[in-house]
Structure 1
Amino acid sequence: MTATTVKTTRADRLLNGIERAGNKLPNPFMLFLYLFLITALGSSILAWMDVSVQIPGADEATEMRGFFTGEGLAWFTENLGPNYLGFPPLVTVLPIILAVGVAEKSGLLAALIRKTFGSSPRWALPYAVGVVGVLGSIMSDASFVVIPPLAALVFAAAGRHPVAGLLGGFAATGAGYSTTMLVTSLDALFAGITTAVTATLPNPGDPVHPLSNYFFNVVSAAVLMFLAGLLIDKVLEPRLIRQGVPREQISEDDDGTFAPVPAADLTPVERRGLVLAGISALVVAAVVLLGIFWPDSPWRNEDGAFLPRSPLLSSIVFIVFAMFIVPGLVYGRAVGVLKKSEDVPRMMGDAIKDMMSFLVLAFVLGQFIALFNWSGIGSWIAVGGAEGLQSIGLTGYGAIFGFVVLASLLNLFIISGSSLWTLMAAVFVPMFALIGYEPGFIQGAFRVGDSATQILTPLNPYIIVLLAMLRRYEPNAGLGTIIARMLPFSIVFWLAWFSILSVFFLLDLPMGPGNGIFLEG
């Protein structure tokens, strides 16, 4: 038995152990239903014991309110609908999803990806994959299925190893999923969850909005794009060549599991559509800028400025909506996908269908967050945790490091970013606020742990999809094969991303417009 075989066997045993442990977790809906019931019981016990907590900065102590009391049951029956419909992510995510859905279903986003690949010289292809992969979260989960096979196609066409494109595309997309230079529905989703948690804080800090982590995201995305390309070019592809991994597909799936991958080259009609979409995007941007910088603009605050609070920051969802839907409509019309007015609501409807699992999950998430806030149990845990950190002197850099490590480990078992952030934000946002950290900064720190390790866990369903694609080249490939090749990306991305967070922390740089590191006052 060779050393390589031994390593693969050990990796498989480790992965099988992780898979068995992860499979014991309930699905996200049931997980948060159980957490809701635990919170309901815990809050009731605390209320029966007349427990209260003094939140720093509050005039009076917060009394625990129990779910299984007359007051609690009345609160729940009166607010079942408002708890769901008032769940902040719904307000921000759904409009953006409608617009992104038009841009995606019209073919605009896929055409942009193909244009990026097709215009790249052979030596730059790994870096093009890094750019497209890190930016791929704009397409939500569809990026995991679209980008890897397309990258394999252009690598093969350029005489490079197609498996390097396949695996590199997946690594860049997955490990860099939580950051991008564009504002996406994920930014709105995270911001909505954070806002829901900060509602009961005596000092909620700067308002958290979809741009709250923008500066941090831009820097992180730029670095991760380059590192992804470097790892594909200098680590992944040379290793595939040394291992003698086949360049030609050995087997094809004929069961319809995967949709055909479009050709990398754009047709003349698609190129014309991209040009027109680009012009329309510039027009939208110009109109927005004109409205912003016009004297006495209604989007300024009372002081005539935009920070820290202003109608402009409250209009981010509208701006993102316009920047997606207008180019999407123009492109769809130019290429003939949008032939009649009924096509637009159809595309929007398809986008909502793609989000249906989240809309169902949001029902129980909204109930959990509402109970956590109403009962006061979140404040009780936060104050206790903050006092514990202060008692051991762990309130600075070390606390942030521990938080990111915990997020990375939990991400191996809870793949849904919204589910994991809902779970962690409910406890850690108030806790860190009590020791002086802005909620927007803690949200940015969570992003590091949320993405870097998700390409390592068998609980990620898209790893199974990738494995089926990989077996077209390597029929004997297993989960251990993928994990071994993903590990360098995960380690390097995590170290680089946390280093960027450390620079922002140590230099007290703003994470985004109007959002800093430390709470004032």
Structure 2
Amino acid sequence: MEKFDQRMEQKKETGKKGLFGKFLNSIERTGNKLPHPATLFLLLAVIVVVISEIAFRSGLAVSFYDAKYKTEKTVEAVSMLNAEGLRFMLNSATTNFTGFHPLGTVLVAMLGVGIAEGTGLINASLKKLVLSTPPKLITAVVVFAGVMSNVASDAGYVVLVPLGAIVFVSMNRHPLAGIAAAFAGVSGGFSANLLIGTLDPLLSGITNEALVAGSIEASILPTSNYYFMFVSTFLITILGTWVTEKIVEPRLGEYKGSHNTEDSMLVSRDEKKGLKAAGIALAIFAGVMLFLTVPENAMLKVDGSLKEFTYNGLVPTIMLFFLVPGLAFGIAAKTVKSDKDVIGYMSKSMSTMGGYLVLCFFAAQFINYFSHTNLGIILAVKGAEFLKSIGFTGFPLIVTFILVAGFINLFIGSASAKWGIMAPIFVPMMYHLGFTPEFTQLAYRIGDSSTNIITPLMSYFAVIVVFAQKYDKDSGIGTLISTMVPYSMIFLLGWTILLGIWYLLGLPIGPGAFIGL
């Protein structure tokens, strides 16, 4: 605790610039007084169990059309303080844990990352990056890479967030600032990209079902938000860079931890050989993957689609993306002499994940309890109905809708699940007020993305806490939330202003997609 107190004193000095700095310090101070994250998730699970009984006895229920599953639903609160609830808690505990999505994603990817790190490939690559990239651009590169990583689904959480810390500490900057910058790009900028990702067809499909449910003869394309999201990539990069360098780093102060890089930032002769071999191996690997995915009859396509590969095969591909060049580097740089070295690097990587496994167990129980009791869905529908009853029109309605979507995102992490509930209500409503379905979907995506980084219900939030604790053992949920609040606020404000400009100018938001009907 002495180290934490010293850090808080330092933050008091750097945070004297105004009430905002004191506000963030109070969030961290309060948040870090909470129990260990694993214990906190356990307590939250207990609270959900108790509230579920209260909600059940009060007859709490909602009815809505679920566009994701194309059916009318009536959802009632489910109690867990009965025989059925007890059976669920006991019988599902193991599958809740083993089925926790981030668990497999992180562990499988870390097998490859462990090879790349153990052989020295990551260290040598980062030294090369630091030496070749102007220091002023490092923050922007980290944020931009985070935004672009969304094309590869959840890879950014597993790879880029810890790499952000390594890059920053290698430049004598605070590693938590590197984690924050990468996390802001990966999660806060989830809907921005220069390319069409897996989320675009998923959301557009739900929007189309909502149009059918509303008896509206119209449909939208997966590219319907592309123009706006393309520009948003640069906006999020600029805003994320500014928040990191002007708010987050000054508040964190100087890093005095023990995770320093090697004394010499020079790339050795063996490392140069390894980097060359790794580059060749990576090029061959990329060529093989292109052959397996691009041609019309490619082996990884099913009925001409890569959907199955995107959802199930991408994480093992990420593992190979690190493993193949990692092995080539290790052999060329002489850090791999036998298969025992390879298994040793993998084992070492897995041994560092013990704390994460414990955290995942309790986080998985809490999130599944929240889903099983239907409390999240009830909260989402009630919030959506409230917004509909307000009766706003024009852009103020859009702004309110964005804020409600952002608020609901604090309680339901899945973007498709929330949109499946909200779309049947808001898409027809906005349509009859003169807004296109494409524009309504776009407004939802802004609210959904902006608050990803401040909700513990986001699946990878626990992972980021573990990454932060590697560099500062006193870091907790309070530290992460207080660090990310400025990004969330600035992203929400900046994105809404950009949408307002788009709205006033009447610009198309995608190919053949406009704001008004």
Partner residue, 1:363: 361
In structure 2, C-alpha distance between the alignment counterparts of 1:216 and 1:176, rounded to whole Å: 22
Partner residue, 1:287: 288
Question: Quick check: 1:216–1:444 contact (8 Å CA) kept in 2?
Answer: no
In structure 1, C-alpha distance between the alignment counterparts of 2:103 and 2:514, rounded to whole Å: 26
Partner residue, 1:474: none
Q: Once the two structures are superposed, what CA deviation does each residue of 1:265-303 show, in whole Å capped at 9, x if it has no partner? A: 21121112112111111111111111123443343343x
Partner residue, 1:277: 278
Partner residue, 2:380: 382
C-alpha distance 77-230 of structure 1, shift in aligned 2 (>3 A): closer
Question: Quick check: 1:149–1:261 contact (8 Å CA) kept in 2?
Answer: no
In structure 1, C-alpha distance between the alignment counterparts of 2:103 and 2:45, rounded to whole Å: 20
In structure 1, C-alpha distance between the alignment counterparts of 2:343 and 2:442, rounded to whole Å: 34
SS of aligned partner of 1:55: strand
Question: Quick check: 2:63–2:73 contact (8 Å CA) kept in 1?
Answer: yes
Tell whether 2:297 aligns with 1:296: yes
C-alpha distance 172-223 of structure 1, shift in aligned 2 (>3 A): farther
Shift of 1:92: 2.5
In structure 2, C-alpha distance between the alignment counterparts of 1:463 and 1:77, rounded to whole Å: 31
Tell whether 2:24 aligns with 1:26: no
C-alpha distance 71-492 of structure 1, shift in aligned 2 (>3 A): closer
Matching residue within 336, 348, 354 for 1:338 = 336
Q: Which amino acid in 2 is paired with 1:35?
A: L
In structure 2, C-alpha distance between the alignment counterparts of 1:337 and 1:48, rounded to whole Å: 63
Q: Which amino acid in 1 is paired with 2:108?
A: P
Moved more, 81-90 or 24-33: 24-33
C-alpha distance 179-7 of structure 1, shift in aligned 2 (>3 A): closer
Identity of aligned pairs, percent? 26
Q: Which amino acid in 1 is paired with 2:168?
A: P
Shift of 1:47: 2.9
Partner residue, 1:83: 96
In structure 2, C-alpha distance between the alignment counterparts of 1:38 and 1:453, rounded to whole Å: 17
Question: Quick check: 2:243–2:487 contact (8 Å CA) kept in 1?
Answer: yes
SS of aligned partner of 2:35: coil
Q: Which amino acid in 1 is paired with 2:171?
A: A
In structure 2, C-alpha distance between the alignment counterparts of 1:487 and 1:381, rounded to whole Å: 23
Tell whether 2:185 aligns with 1:179: yes
Tell whether 2:51 aligns with 1:42: yes
Question: Quick check: 2:406–2:448 contact (8 Å CA) kept in 1?
Answer: no
C-alpha distance 214-264 of structure 1, shift in aligned 2 (>3 A): farther
Q: Which amino acid in 2 is paired with 1:315?
A: G
SS of aligned partner of 1:179: helix
C-alpha distance 20-337 of structure 1, shift in aligned 2 (>3 A): same
Shift of 1:262: 4.2
Tell whether 2:123 aligns with 1:125: no
In structure 1, C-alpha distance between the alignment counterparts of 2:142 and 2:277, rounded to whole Å: 21
In structure 2, C-alpha distance between the alignment counterparts of 1:444 and 1:378, rounded to whole Å: 20
C-alpha distance 445-342 of structure 1, shift in aligned 2 (>3 A): farther
In structure 2, C-alpha distance between the alignment counterparts of 1:266 and 1:25, rounded to whole Å: 44
C-alpha distance 21-293 of structure 1, shift in aligned 2 (>3 A): closer
C-alpha distance 347-18 of structure 1, shift in aligned 2 (>3 A): same
SS of aligned partner of 1:61: strand
Question: Quick check: 2:227–2:510 contact (8 Å CA) kept in 1?
Answer: no
Question: Quick check: 2:291–2:298 contact (8 Å CA) kept in 1?
Answer: no
SS of aligned partner of 1:54: strand
Shift of 1:149: 3.9
In structure 2, C-alpha distance between the alignment counterparts of 1:108 and 1:347, rounded to whole Å: 12
Matching residue within 77, 97, 100 for 2:113 = 100
In structure 2, C-alpha distance between the alignment counterparts of 1:214 and 1:422, rounded to whole Å: 25
In structure 2, C-alpha distance between the alignment counterparts of 1:442 and 1:334, rounded to whole Å: 49
Q: Once the two structures are superposed, what CA deviation does each residue of 1:227-277 show, in whole Å capped at 9, x if it has no partner? A: 7778999x89xxx9xxxxxxxx9xx97xx8344534222112111211211
Structure 1: runs of 5 or more not aligned: 153-165, 193-202, 206-212, 241-248, 411-419, 467-478, 511-515
Matching residue within 168, 184, 200 for 1:148 = 168
In structure 1, C-alpha distance between the alignment counterparts of 2:210 and 2:258, rounded to whole Å: 47
Question: Quick check: 1:108–1:328 contact (8 Å CA) kept in 2?
Answer: yes
Q: Which amino acid in 2 is paired with 1:27?
A: H
C-alpha distance 33-135 of structure 1, shift in aligned 2 (>3 A): same
Shift of 1:11: 7.5
Partner residue, 1:469: none
Tell whether 2:52 aligns with 1:66: no
Shift of 1:326: 0.8
Question: Quick check: 2:139–2:181 contact (8 Å CA) kept in 1?
Answer: no
C-alpha distance 400-364 of structure 1, shift in aligned 2 (>3 A): farther
Partner residue, 1:319: 317
Structure 2: runs of 5 or more not aligned: 1-12, 147-155, 199-208, 212-224, 428-439, 457-464, 473-478
Question: Quick check: 2:300–2:309 contact (8 Å CA) kept in 1?
Answer: yes
In structure 1, C-alpha distance between the alignment counterparts of 2:104 and 2:514, rounded to whole Å: 26
Q: Once the two structures are superposed, what CA deviation does each residue of 1:68-119 show, in whole Å capped at 9, x if it has no partner? A: 1111112222211111111222232321122122222322222222112223
Moved more, 46-55 or 318-327: 46-55
Question: Quick check: 2:65–2:421 contact (8 Å CA) kept in 1?
Answer: no
Shift of 1:39: 1.6
Partner residue, 2:150: none
In structure 1, C-alpha distance between the alignment counterparts of 2:237 and 2:423, rounded to whole Å: 32
Question: Quick check: 1:273–1:332 contact (8 Å CA) kept in 2?
Answer: yes
Number of aligned residues = 423
SS of aligned partner of 2:335: coil
C-alpha distance 373-495 of structure 1, shift in aligned 2 (>3 A): closer
Q: Which amino acid in 1 is paired with 2:50?
A: L
In structure 2, C-alpha distance between the alignment counterparts of 1:392 and 1:517, rounded to whole Å: 25
Give TM-score scaled by structure 2 length.
0.63
Matching residue within 104, 109, 112 for 2:125 = 112
Partner residue, 1:210: none
Shift of 1:223: 5.5
In structure 2, C-alpha distance between the alignment counterparts of 1:29 and 1:204, rounded to whole Å: 38
In structure 1, C-alpha distance between the alignment counterparts of 2:337 and 2:283, rounded to whole Å: 24
Partner residue, 2:433: none
SS of aligned partner of 1:261: coil
Give RMSD over aligned pairs.
5.3
